């Protein structure tokens, strides 16, 4: 029988290889961005049209290529990054397989322009489906530009397999994020169909994350740091109360390379044990550094899965580091709506030991005397001229105070003993959001959160400007971590912060040690309050000393005010009402929102067509 085996021509071999490396436009994006990083670029632009199906261009200011290299780079197994098999276990570059460009050139129209710094002229190459079309010299800036057009033009099955532009663009953005998050010291921009989607200046890791995900990302993050012989961890994990339903913001980087690892993901979830709602996913941005010889990156064509020598040890270190961070920052799920708040230990009891109960005997007790006070359903108006509609709420009120027995301790502790004064009229809380209070002309409905913000805002502003706040001493000083910029800001506002009651024991390069807190701030809240404050001040860039104090007072008021959804005891309600009307500007919150409305008896009459 004659022999039938043949060696495949290069262009066919390349197309087959391309099937592994290039699944969709986003794969091209990933390979080109990685090449630009390996070339030492400090500025990388990604330009796409129609989700990369029509055009993908990556422009870098890296080291460029010589004329010979410009030609060679499209050959299969052509790489400048490794020389021998051992190098596979000492990788310091993203690429090493020498396959990407050969693969891409086999399935698209490619145009490359490249110039090295020391060369006068650069090289311009056009290649289509592995065929060299032209090679010229050209006047070019330093660096490399890769243009990939009509991806899969010669593999219709592949092209038809692509998803909608929205989906493919999502994949591109995901790849862009992964690369950008791993390299915060590189300036990245992304344009799609002519508009700029991202412009990420060089920054530190935390700022890069915030720039990528915008919004309030900063306040959601807790830093994590650990250093051992086999693993160094840095980065951030999300506070549990910000956990999401989807797995969008979960990133592991190993030696600056984004990787997927179900096993390490599990280590993080284990650290959050008991802190998350069912199915909620924490955010994490974890940068792991391991000795290169302890990992194998060459187990997957797209290099997103890697094999660790000692996965179990990494798991244990990672889990304990994450647990430590969550604990150190006293992160507890404060916004968990599905939780039964009545079962929680009130904040001010959390650190108290158990007390021995004592028995008090009332020697005047007469079992035959009727006790009206304890009969909650017999209601007597406190004064004769009180509107009768109040009695509609009597049963309700009794129920509520019964059910919320435990949480009373929480809300009444918002106000110190001597602040509680009896108001002349009763108030009612509705929907854990509004306080209703009868007034002479009708009734008043107060938004509890906004009103309390106003009260705290005026109080903090006074404390800051008049330097008169008292402080509660912490038993164990607290260390909180911040970025260099944040530390700079904290140093600037240190005096004002101390006026509110914070006591700073040390301010270091990336952390502060706090030994005293404003009276209203609980230890468990301090990291959230301070991080919120720093992020608010950073957003605002106040222009004068006063506006900085004003922003601080606003931020503290926002963080510490009772929120919608909090049950208030009658005393707490009355306290809010009284204190609100002692404020200079009772009608609006510090954020210019209405704090209360009034409904006159006439208004009510109209509604009833009286
Ligand atoms: P690999 O990255 O695995 O080495 P590639 O096919 O992606 O393989 O690239 C082949 C070679 O082309 C690289 O090793 C590098 O020398 C060169 N190269 C690719 N892109 C660039 C670039 N943007 N700037 C400079 N050199 C590049
Ligand atoms: Mg490469």
Q: Are residues 162 and 285 in the same domain?
A: no
Q: What is the pLDDT of residue 387?
A: 38
- 100-146 per-position pLDDT tens digit: 999 999 999 999 999 999 999 999 999 999 999 999 999 999 999 99
Residue 141 shares a structural domain with residue 184 = yes
Instruction: For residue 536, give the nearest of 525, 518, 551, 546 by alpha carbon.
Output: 551
Output the CA 295–ligand 1 centroid distance in Å. Answer: 22
Tell how far the Cα of 187 is from the centroid of ligand 1, in angstroms.
20
Structural domain count of the chain: 3
Per-residue pLDDT, 380: 36
> The whole model's pTM is what?
0.58
Residue 92 maps to a domain? yes
Domain extent at residue 91? 10-200
Is 373 contained in some domain?
no
Q: What's the pLDDT at 468?
A: 67
Least Cα distance to 286 among 201, 175, 178, 211 occurs for: 178
Task: Please report the pLDDT score of residue 496 as a whole number.
Answer: 81
143 & 224 share domain = no
End residue of a domain, out of 160, 179, 200: 200
Query: What residues in the chain have per-residue pLDDT under 50?
Result: 332-363, 367-423
79 touches ligand 1 (CB under 6 Å): yes
Is 80 touching ligand 1 by the criterion CB < 6 Å?
Answer: yes
**Shared domain check, 584 and 456:** yes
Query: Following DSSP, what letter does each residue of 121-172 receive, concatenated?
Result: SEEEEEEETTEEEEEEEE---SEEEEEEESTTTT-HHHHHH---HHHHHHHH
Cβ atoms within 10 Å, residue 101: 24
Q: Are residues 48 and 180 in the same domain?
A: yes
Give how far Cα 426 sits from Cα of 381, 384, 443, Å.
9, 13, 11
CA–CA separation, 494 and 282 (whole Å):
32
Q: What is the pLDDT of residue 176?
A: 97
Task: Return all residues near 405 (Cβ < 8 A) that are at least 6 apart.
Answer: 342
Q: Which residues, 6+ apart, have CB-to-CB distance to 15 below 8 Å?
A: 106, 107, 130, 154, 155
Positive or negative CA dihedral for 404, 408, 414, 418?
positive
Same structural domain, 194 and 222: no
**Residue 377 resides in a domain:** no
Contacts of 398 (CB under 8 A, 6+ apart): 376, 377
Q: Alpha-carbon distance 105 to 109, whole Å?
A: 7
- Cα three-residue angle 601-606-610, rounded to 5 degrees: 90
Q: Output the pLDDT for position 546.
A: 65
Inter-CA distances, 390 with 326, 329, 436, 526, Å: 47, 45, 10, 40
Check if 65 has its Cβ closer than 6 Å to any atom of ligand 1. yes
Same domain, yes or no: 76 and 187: yes
C-alpha–C-alpha distance, residues 37 and 61, integer Å? 10
Residue nearest to atom 14 of ligand 1 (CA): 79
CB 189 within 8 A of CB 196: yes
Tell me the β-bridge partners of 114.
Answer: 123, 144
Are 115 and 178 in a shared domain? Answer: yes
Do the beta carbons of residue 552 and residue 464 sit within 8 Å? yes
Q: Which residues surround ligand 2, an ion (CB under 5 A)?
A: 35, 95, 100
Task: Please write the tens of the pLDDT for every residue from 29-63.
Answer: 999 999 999 999 999 999 999 999 999 999 999 99
- Helical (H) or strand (E) element with 197: strand 195-200
CATH code of 589's domain: 3.30.1370.100
CA distances from 366 to 362, 369, 370, 373, 376 (A): 9, 6, 9, 14, 20
Cα-to-centroid distance, 314 and ligand 2 (Å): 28
Regarding the beta carbon of 97 and ligand 1, being less than 6 Å apart is answered: yes
Which strands sit side by side in the sheet containing 434-439, from one edge to the other? 428-430, 434-439, 442-447, 596-600
- Give yes or no: residues 68 and 175 share one domain: yes
10, two tokens: 């290069």
Residue with CA at minimum distance from ligand 1 atom 13:
79
Residue 285 lies in a domain: yes
Of 298, 328, 358, which closes a domain? 328
Question: CATH code at 219?
Answer: 3.30.230.10
Residue for token pair 């344009």: 191
Probe residue for ligand 1, chosen from 32, 36, 45, 95 as the CB with the greatest number of ligand atoms within 8 Å: 95
- Among 200, 232, 263, residue at a domain's last position: 200
Q: Which helix (H) or strand (E) holds 223?
A: strand 221-227
Same domain as 236, residue 305: yes
**Total residue length of the chain:** 610
In a domain, 419, yes or no: no
Residues 217 and 151 in one domain: no
CA dihedral defined by 534, 535, 540, 545, rounded to 10 degrees?
0
Q: Reduce the DSSP state of residue 229 to 3 states and report it.
A: coil
Residue with CA nearest ligand 1 atom 23: 36
Cβ proximity of 261 and 295 under 8 Å: no
* pLDDT of the residue at 465: 77
Within this chain, do residues 454 and 566 fall inside the same structural domain, yes or no? yes
């Amino acid at each position: 029988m004659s022999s039938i085996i043949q060696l495949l021509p290069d262009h066919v071999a390349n197309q087959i290889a391309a099937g592994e490396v290039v699944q969709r436009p986003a794969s091209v994006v990933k390979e080109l961005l990685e090449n630009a990083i390996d070339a030492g670029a400090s500025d990388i632009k990604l330009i796409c049209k129609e989700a990369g199906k029509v055009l993908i261009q990556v422009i870098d200011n890296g080291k460029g290529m010589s004329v010979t290299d410009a030609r060679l780079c499209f050959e299969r197994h052509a790489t400048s990054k490794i020389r021998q098999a051992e190098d596979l276990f000492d990788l310091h570059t993203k690429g090493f397989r020498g396959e990407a460009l050969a693969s891409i050139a086999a399935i698209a129209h490619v145009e490359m322009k490249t110039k090295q710094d020391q060369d006068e002229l650069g090289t311009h190459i056009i290649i289509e489906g592995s065929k060299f079309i032209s090679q010229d010299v050209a006047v070019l800036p330093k660096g490399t530009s890769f243009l990939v057009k009509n991806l899969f033009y010669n593999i219709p099955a592949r092209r038809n397999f692509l998803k909608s532009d929205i989906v493919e663009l999502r994949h591109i953005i995901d790849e862009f994020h992964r690369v950008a998050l791993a390299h915060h010291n590189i300036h990245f921009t992304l344009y799609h169909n002519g508009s700029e989607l991202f412009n990420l200046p060089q920054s530190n890791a935390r700022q890069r994350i915030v720039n990528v995900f915008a919004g309030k990302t900063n306040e959601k993050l807790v830093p994590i740091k650990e250093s051992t012989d086999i693993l160094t961890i840095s980065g951030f994990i999300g506070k549990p109360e910000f956990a999401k339903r989807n797995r969008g913001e979960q990133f592991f980087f190993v030696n600056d390379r984004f990787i997927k690892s179900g096993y390490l993901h599990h280590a993080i979830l284990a650290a959050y044990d008991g802190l998350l709602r069912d199915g909620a996913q924490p955010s994490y941005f974890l940068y792991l550094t391991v000795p290169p010889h302890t990992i194998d990156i060459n187990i997957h064509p797209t290099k997103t899965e890697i094999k660790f020598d000692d996965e179990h040890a990494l798991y244990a270190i990672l889990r304990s580091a994450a647990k430590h961070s969550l604990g150190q920052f006293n992160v507890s799920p404060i916004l968990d709506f599905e939780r039964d708040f009545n079962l929680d230990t009130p904040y001010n009891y959390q650190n108290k030991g158990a007390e021995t109960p004592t028995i008090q005997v009332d020697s005047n007790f007469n079992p035959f005397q009727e006790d009206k006070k304890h009969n909650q359903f017999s209601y007597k108006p406190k004064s004769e001229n009180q509107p009768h509609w109040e009695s509609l709420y009597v049963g309700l009120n009794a129920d509520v105070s019964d059910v919320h027995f435990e949480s009373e301790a929480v809300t009444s502790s918002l106000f110190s003993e001597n602040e509680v004064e009896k108001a002349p009229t009763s108030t009612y809380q509705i929907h854990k959001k509004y306080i209703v209070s009868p007034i002479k002309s009708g009734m008043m409905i107060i938004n509890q959160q906004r009103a309390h913000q106003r009260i705290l805002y005026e109080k903090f502003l006074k404390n800051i400007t008049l330097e008169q706040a008292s402080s509660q001493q912490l038993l164990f000083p607290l260390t909180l971590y911040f970025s260099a910029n944040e530390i700079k800001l904290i140093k600037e506002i240190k005096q004002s912060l101390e006026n509110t009651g914070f006591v700073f024991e040390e301010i270091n390069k990336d952390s502060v040690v706090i030994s005293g807190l404003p009276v209203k701030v609980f230890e468990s809240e301090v990291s959230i309050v301070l991080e919120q404050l720093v992020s608010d001040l950073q957003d605002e860039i106040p222009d004068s000393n006063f506006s900085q104090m004003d922003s601080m007072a606003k931020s503290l008021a926002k963080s510490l005010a009772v929120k919608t959804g909090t049950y208030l005891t009658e005393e707490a309600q009355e306290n809010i009402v009284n204190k609100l009307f002692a404020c200079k500007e009772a009608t609006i919150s510090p954020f210019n929102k209405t704090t209360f409305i009034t409904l006159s008896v006439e208004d009510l009459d109209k509604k009833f067509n009286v």
